[in-house]
Structure 1
């Protein structure tokens, strides 16, 4: 199946995809503040440039888009066009994520991944449920975990 857009339009659309201040980051940021956490965003000095860094608890939080980071949920769909290209790109994102998490853990950082499906969409977690899970992990410990529609679990 051919792409419905020309190469120029597809390229323009892809360049417009934000890498910071995304909708899912904008949903989480005020919740972290409301929970009383002091955080900074997009720390380029750390592997993977985490979306949120909470220095006092030595933890970082990534908000991962389900498509771009290949999450097994209803938001991920294998592209119908240029499938090999897109799957190669997405799989390289997954490998980079693993490498970045490994570096962060080696440097003594705790890592939390919050998936897009938990933050937006028809089945997203409520603010209360999301805050409970984030606070439980940040304050409770654990090296590496993720939050998705099924809740919070260790990686």
Structure 2
């Protein structure tokens, strides 16, 4: 696990490049003053972007695989990661920040443009003060699509 980076990952770099291309500059990276040290912070807008890897944070949309060896260790590790994410989101809301969560699977080629368009729109809307503090999964598929995918999985088993 030593080779797995926590900062400047390829999904994070792609999001930052798209933010710059959209003209959204002035953000801070892993800012210590923000609760939970999110990946990208816009202090003036009180908006934070957390870019989650599907494997480590257990994406609810793509269902990443689980390691076969040492299942107790991995379940405890994933549980701690989820608890930390929930705690950080709660701290962000209590401090009045808007937290935008982007999942790695939503940054794939076919979904990247739509995900980034929504992310840029949310950052701009929060910067204008139109939205109260909230947590939003940016690029998440509609609920009806998730239900259909789950029912197909049940039929196969």
TM-score, structure 2 as length reference: 0.79
Q: Does 1:15 align with 2:2?
A: yes
The structure showing larger relative contact order (alpha-carbon pairs under 8 Å, at least 6 residues apart) is 2
- Residues 1:41 and 2:26 aligned together: no
Verify the 8 A CA contact 1:39 1:55 in the aligned structure 2. yes
Cα separation, 2, equivalents of 1:32 and 1:114: 13
Task: Determine helix, strand or coil for the equivalent of 1:53.
Answer: strand
| CA shift for structure 1 position 59 | 0.5
Tell me, what secondary structure is at the counterpart of 2:56? coil
From 118, 130, 137, the equivalent of 1:133 is 118
Aligned-residue CA RMSD in angstroms?
A: 1.9
More off after superposition, 19-28 vs 46-55: 46-55
Match of 1:84 in 2: 72
- Structure 2 segments unaligned to the other structure (5+ residues): 126-130, 143-157
1:145 is matched with 136
Describe the shift of the 1:48–1:118 C-alpha distance in structure 2 as closer, same or farther (beyond 3 A).
Answer: same
Query: Secondary structure of 1:15's partner?
Result: coil
Q: How many residues align?
A: 136
Q: Distance in 1 between matches of 2:72 and 2:101?
A: 26
Given that residues 125 and 149 in structure 1 are in contact (C-alpha distance below 8 angstroms), is that contact kept between their aligned partners in structure 2? no
Q: Which structure carries more helix by proportion?
A: 2
TM superposition outliers: structure 1 runs of 4+ over 6 Å: none
Separation in structure 2 between the aligned mates of residue 48 and residue 125 of structure 1, nearest angstrom: 27
**Alpha-carbon distance in structure 1 between the residues aligned to 2:86 and 2:140:** 21
Aligned mates of 2:63, 2:3 — CA distance in 1: 20
The normalised TM-score by structure 1 is 0.80
2:19 paired with 1:32:
yes
Gaps of 5+ in 1: 1-13
Give, in angstroms, the shift of residue 147 of structure 1.
2.0
